Structure 1
Amino acid sequence: MRAASVVILAIAGLCLSGMPGQAQTKSVVLKGATLIDGAGGKPLPDSVLVIRDGRIAAVGSVTAVPVPSDADVVDLKGKSIIPGMISDHSHVGIVRGLKASPDNYNRDYILSQLRQWEAYGVTTITSLGLNAPEFYDLRADLHAGKAPGADIFGADRGIGVAMGAPPVAIVPVGPNQIYRPDTPDAAREAVREMAGRKTDLIKIWLDDFGKLLPVKVKPEVYTAAVDEAHKNALRVAFHINDLEDAQAALKAGADILAHGIRDKEIDPPTIELMKKNAAWYVPTLALDDSNFIFADKPQVSADPFVNRALDPAVKTQLEDPAWQQKVHDAPASERARKALAMNQKNLMTLYKAGIGIGFGSDSGVGLRFPGIAEHRELDLMVEAGLTPMQALTIATSGAAKLLKLDDRGVLLAGKLADLVVLDADPSADIANVHKISAVWHRGKPVAGPIATFAQR
């Protein structure tokens, strides 16, 4: 048996054993860490986790799981392990630096984003709409482990409305990245085209952005889209903001509310609709938070954990005192603060009601940076009233369940060996999830401490 005393040695040595997609010829054992399984079980101290061929071969206490005699052993005493996080709501290829453009939807840039998510411990993401045709080759390569970075699922283009959401002023995507049907027949055809490409989900935008947009998708259009999606065995995620729109979406058959309800307190009839549909709720607390947090608390972006992954143009903007003051004082920022508070309250109401809660931050758009936004989402969920363990369970096994993935999100035998090694116990303090020591994906170490991360 060969033992390495620190994780960085594992990364230096074990990364030489093969590239993504290649078979692993011998076992690797992660030994001694406190293990959080992602399923809500109590943290397991002094654990043993055996990895073979990209999957977890065995896991348990040091007294229950034998260590293979020829295994490479990584000593993780004093550290913690959690499953790789899973985002149910992100976007790729939309914003680069401070510029949103259809030109950003290209393989090289998207792979750089996926590497960043992975380095921050998010090993699977869902690009929830606004995807160009390149998405499908990327998805195939990432599913097969032929490309580096977080694995990816997605919702093809999605359905919006002309002159309405998604607003071109915020997301100026190309014509092959969004459908804007104006009749039920056109909506059905759009869904059939997406189904033909084997999309994972269908996305519909139902929002006028606080009456800033003149129109919303018509009820007969989104109802037809939902019906056609269900005929094709596809679930539908709705972008919503208001309680009224959430109710309308649920009555039409929505399977997922892809944002939190932020204008009013959620009421019992809406909860009953969610239970009837077995609908999931992805609060995306970080969405409104990102509209003011960097101005209200400049120390957030100055934190090396955040600053390391910021584009130079973004750093310049966030560090500008004039920009900070302008954003802090803006009426839109005050609306965002109130929306976040309402969203956090509704999250707790739904969690206590037993509604399925997904995990996502709408990262990849605006100032919601890949990986960083997911960590901020965890912080905000705990701030709302969840325990660290509850938030971590949502971000791992809960997020996997939303996507109907049974091969990841938990650290159990037979599951993918996607995991994050931390320098401290996140069950004691959610801030400890930021103390990344290493990320393992597909059974191999792919990233070390954030201080070693370099944008590409």
Structure 2
Amino acid sequence: MTQQSGATVNAGAHGPAPYDLVIRRAHVFDGHRALAGLYDIAVDGGKIASVSADPLRGTREVDAAGGWVMPGLIDTHVHLYDVRAVSGPDSMRAFEDNELPRKLGLFLDHGVTTIKSVGDPTGGILETRSKIAAGVLGGPRLLATGCGITGRDGHPATTVFGDNPWARERFTAEVDGVRQIRDLVHHLADRGVDAIKLLSEGACAHSGGPTYLWRNPAFPDGVELVRLPVALLRAGIEAGHERGLRVTVHTTQQAAAREAIEAGADGLEHGVTIEPLTDHSLIDLMLEHGITYTPTLWIDDAHPDARGNLRKVAAAGVHIALGSDTFSGRGLFGANTLEEAELMVAARMTPAQVLAAGTSGASRQCVRPDLGTVAPGKRADLLVLNADPTADIGNIRDLGMVILNGEVAVDKRRPSL
């Protein structure tokens, strides 16, 4: 950490050895709730060492001046690689060299310190994760499922990648048998993925399941698909759990959501979006199984029932995680995550509920208890805000500083501060 980071140097104070960094006099949203009063937050070795109402000393100090400190935001549902631009080895290399570093930087610029990729090409995304972890590439902490697993000719293989066979083979994995999906999940686990993502929309036409007309603004006439057969869904989830991996399932319908939960899923990506959630026993099932519901309103708000469905599950006490479904070609990485938070408030969640969904709730979804909370022993991924985000969710845009793993990654404060 350098003087140029905006932190002041404490060179001559006496007393106990100072911490690496101290953020002084801040209100705190700790990932669950706002704490009463002002605090000093101390960081040592990339972790939070103390959250103290009493003054602390740091080798370097940041005066929050009564502003707010909260955990860095976690976006649990992103797609980093450009599904339109990547269509062969040369275009993929060009994207990684010329576009990816800027996109990663945008997340940090907007206060997003952890992202979870849920359907990028396995080899590319795991290599990107390694480069970030090694410090070769700048960006937020990256978690990854590798490719999304769908049925033969399912979504997104025949929808998003219908005219891009090279990307189809890498962004998705199509399965049509129990042994095949089990082997694939174990293969991904062997490669070190952080979680598994299955897509219920899509399977071989002879599966015997009910057809579903997949609709999206890019496909106004719809694409007819068949849901992933329950036997394959269950086998994929069981294989993931055998390897200690959390398995979430892309759903949009009540029936598909029920199938996923009854098959053992840990979470629903999107949840119920294309129809009103009228089955109250489904909400009870979510609560009984400890399901995490990721509403992705940034992409699904066009569906008239998406907000109301989120309102119902949140009011019932279902675990909620923030996930934007950000992908290349629309909006701006990082900014989309903030818009997701604002849409969740528009769906009548409180700002504090949404902040929790983007911090401690998201860390639960990612099985990363070291993230998402301002407390001793947690990773020092922190935001310094100029205004109270629990009063107005829009104040997450009033960002002064981003601290990643104990180091100042972004400093937007005025020099006088």
TM-score clears 0.5: yes
Q: Note the alpha carbon deviations across 1:304-360, whole angstroms, 9 max, x for none.
A: xxxxxxxxxxxxxxxxxxxxxxxxxxxxxxxx2xx2x42221212212222111110
Residue 114 of structure 2: aligned partner: 124
Mapped partners of 2:185, 2:392: distance in 1? 44
Among 132, 135, 146, the residue aligned to 2:125 = 135
Q: Is the 8 A contact 1:10 1:445 kept in 2?
A: no
The equivalent position to 2:39 in structure 1, one of 47, 72, 83, is 47
- How many pairs align? 380
Which structure is higher in strand share? Answer: 2
How far, CA to CA, are the matches of 2:380 and 2:282 in structure 1? 38
Q: Deviations over 1:83-138 (max 9, x none)?
A: 1001111111125xx74646347543333322211111010010012333132233
In structure 2, C-alpha distance between the alignment counterparts of 1:10 and 1:384, rounded to whole Å: 41
Which residue of structure 2 aligns with residue 4 of structure 1? Answer: none
Counterparts of 2:291 and 2:183 in 1: how far apart (Å)?
25
Match of 1:37 in 2: 30
Aligned partners of 2:118 and 2:197 also within 8 Å: yes
- In 2 relative to 1, CA 32–26 (structure 1 residues): closer, same or farther, beyond 3 Å? closer
**Residue in 1 aligned with 2:219?**
none
Q: Name the structure 1 match of 2:185.
A: 191
Larger mean CA deviation between 387-396 and 215-224 belongs to: 215-224
| Alignment of 1:286 onto 2:298 | yes
Matched, 1:177 2:171: yes
* 2:256 paired residue number: 245
- Residue 396 of structure 2 corresponds to which residue in structure 1? 433
C-alpha change, 1:237 and 1:266, in structure 2 (3 Å) is farther
Q: Deviations over 1:116-175 (max 9, x none)?
A: 111110100100123331322332343455532100111111211333201455354242
Structure 2: distance between partners of 1:124 and 1:28: 21
- Cα drift, residue 261 of structure 1: 0.6
For 1:206 and 1:104, locate their aligned partners in 2 and report how far apart those are by CA, in whole Å: 27
Aligned counterparts, 1:331-370, within 5 A: 336=302, 339=303, 341-370=304-333
TM superposition shift of 1:282: 0.4
The amino acid that maps onto 1:67 is L
1:115 alignment partner AA? G
Shift of 1:364: 2.1
What is the distance in 2 between the residues matched to 1:128 and 1:288?
16
Structure 1 residue 80 displacement after superposition: 1.6
Residue 257 of structure 1 corresponds to which residue in structure 2? 268
Residues 14, 367 of structure 1: alpha-carbon distance in 2 compared, 3 angstrom cutoff:
farther
Contact 2:257 2:271 in 1 (8 A): no
Counterparts in 2 of 1:63-74, with a 5 A limit?
64=54, 66-68=55-57, 71-74=59-62
- For structure 2, the 5+ residue unaligned runs are 10-17, 202-211, 216-221
Aligned to 2:377: 414
Indicate how the Cα distance of structure 1 residues 361 and 266 shifts in structure 2: closer, same or farther if over 3 A, else same.
Answer: farther
Q: Percent identity of the aligned residues?
A: 30
SS of the residue corresponding to residue 77 of structure 2 reads: coil
Q: Residues 117 and 266 from structure 1, CA distance in 2 versus in 1: closer, same or farther, beyond 3 angstroms? A: farther
- 2:139 maps to 149
Change (3 A) 1:13 1:431: closer
Q: Report the counterpart of residue 75 of structure 1 in structure 2.
A: 63
Contact 2:276–2:305 (CA under 8 A) maintained in structure 1: yes
Determine which structure has the larger helix proportion and give its number. Answer: 1
CA distance 1:389–1:160, change in 2 (3 Å):
same
Matches within 5 A, 1:260-271: 260-262=271-273, 263-271=275-283
CA distance in 2, matches of 1:169, 1:183: 21
Equivalent residue letter for 1:254: A
Equivalent residue of 2:271, what SS?
A: coil
SS of 1:407's equivalent in the other structure is: coil
| Residue aligned with 1:133, SS | helix
Any idea what the Cα deviations from partners look like across 1:366-425, whole Å, max 9, x if unmatched? 525311111011101111111111111111111001111111111111211111111211
- Whether the 8 Å CA contact 2:8–2:61 is kept in 1: the answer is no
**RMSD between aligned alpha carbons?**
2.7
TM-score by structure 2 length?
Answer: 0.83
Q: Is the Cα contact below 8 Å between 2:68 and 2:384 reproduced in 1?
A: yes
Give TM-score scaled by structure 1 length. 0.77
Distance in 2, Cα, partners of 1:45 & 1:197: 46
Shift of 1:43: 3.9
Q: Which runs of 5+ in 1 are unaligned?
A: 1-7, 16-24, 290-335, 452-456
Alignment of 1:439-454 (within 5 A): 439-449=402-412
Question: What is the letter of the counterpart of residue 155 of structure 1?
Answer: T
Partner of residue 233 from structure 2, selected from 222, 227, 237:
222
Distance 1:134 1:283, change over 3 A: same
Name the SS of the counterpart of 2:125 in structure 1: helix
Q: Deviations over 1:38-87 (max 9, x none)?
A: 122x24443211122222111122xx2x422x622222214222110011
Task: Name the amino acid aligned to 1:56.
Answer: I
